[in-house]
A and B are shown apart, each in its own frame.
Chain A
C-alpha cells in the first residue's frame, strides 16, 4: 500500500491563480480530510468527507472547495489564491467508526502564494 499520497510537493502561485491539490489513498478508507498547518497554529481542519459524494466544512473552509467522486480521491481546489493561503497542506484518511480510529497523513504540499 502506498498509503496517502499528495501532489505536488511544492507549488508557487501568484495571487488570483487557481490550482488543485491532489490527494489519494489506497486503503479503502471512507473518511478523508484536508488540514492546513501554519506556524504557531497547529493543524486546522479545512474540509472533510465521510464517503464518496459527501463533503462538509471544517474549521477554516473559506477559499477552498472539495469534491469526492471516488473513495480514493479527495482533491482540494483553490479558486483564487490569496497570500493568506500560504501554508502546508496535509491530507488524511481513516476508517469510519466511533472516533478512535487512527488518521493517516500524507507527506504534505507546501504552497507559497505571492
Chain B
C-alpha cells in the first residue's frame, strides 16, 4: 500500500538557518503530494502541494519539488523564523491507486530558537 516516510524530530534550528525536512513516498498510482503544518493546539493547514512530477509547490517562503525519479518531496526554507515552529506533515493522495483520503507521514516537530 501507499506510505510516506519523513524524518522524525524534533529538529531544532536557530533563527535564519536553512531548513530541509526530507520526505519520500511509495504509491501504486500517480499521487498528489502535500505538506501540511500544525501549529500548537490547532488543526492542520495546507502549506503547499504539487500534483504532478517536477511541479514545485511554494508558500510563505517554503518550497518543495515533486521528484518522481527519487519519489521525494523534500520541504525547504532558506531562512526560518521562530514563528515557523510547528509540526510538519508530508502526505499523499493516490486516487489512481484505488484508495481515498490522505496518507500521512508521522510528522516532524520543528523548533526554531531565537
Count, A-B residue pairs, CB within 8 A: 65
Interface set, chain B 75-114, CB cutoff 8 A to A:
89, 91, 93-96, 100-107
**Binary flags per residue of A72-93, CB closer than 8 Å to B gives 1, else 0:** 0000000000000000001010
Tally of A interface residues using CB under 8 Å: 27
CA distance A107 to B106 in the complex (A): 19
Contacts of B105 in A (CB 8 A): 42
Known: A45-B102, A58-B101. A99 touches B32 (CB 8 A): yes
Tally of B interface residues using CB under 8 Å: 27
Query: What's the dominant secondary structure at chain A's contact region?
Result: strand
Contacts of B91 in A (CB 8 A): 43
Contacts of B106 in A (CB 8 A): 40-42
Contact, CB under 8 Å: B107 / A105 = no
Q: Which 3 A-B pairs have the closest CB atoms?
A: A99-B95, A100-B51, A42-B104
